[in-house]
Amino acid sequence: MSINRPELFELMGVPKAKASKMLDLVLNSIGEALAKGEDVCIKGFGTFKIVELAVVN
């Protein structure tokens, strides 16, 4: 399933401005935690973590 921001906001059932702030807060929080080297686990959704991959020449 693929969904864009406007579709997500409509599903959330809140005003677009509020939904946008909520989504930005969640995504920024995930990004900040990952930048600190922390894993992020959201139950029922998924786990985010930084994985270093070997360089392929």
Q: Which pLDDT belongs to residue 40?
A: 97
3-class state of residue 36 by DSSP: coil
33 neighbors 47 (Cβ within 8 angstroms): no
Domain ranges of the chain: 5-48
16 neighbors 9 (Cβ within 8 angstroms): yes
Within 13 A of 54's CA, how many CA atoms are on the CB side?
Answer: 2
Q: Which pLDDT belongs to residue 1?
A: 80
pLDDT tens, N- to C-terminus, the chain (57 residues): 899 988 988 998 999 999 999 999 999 999 999 999 999 999 999 999 999 999 988
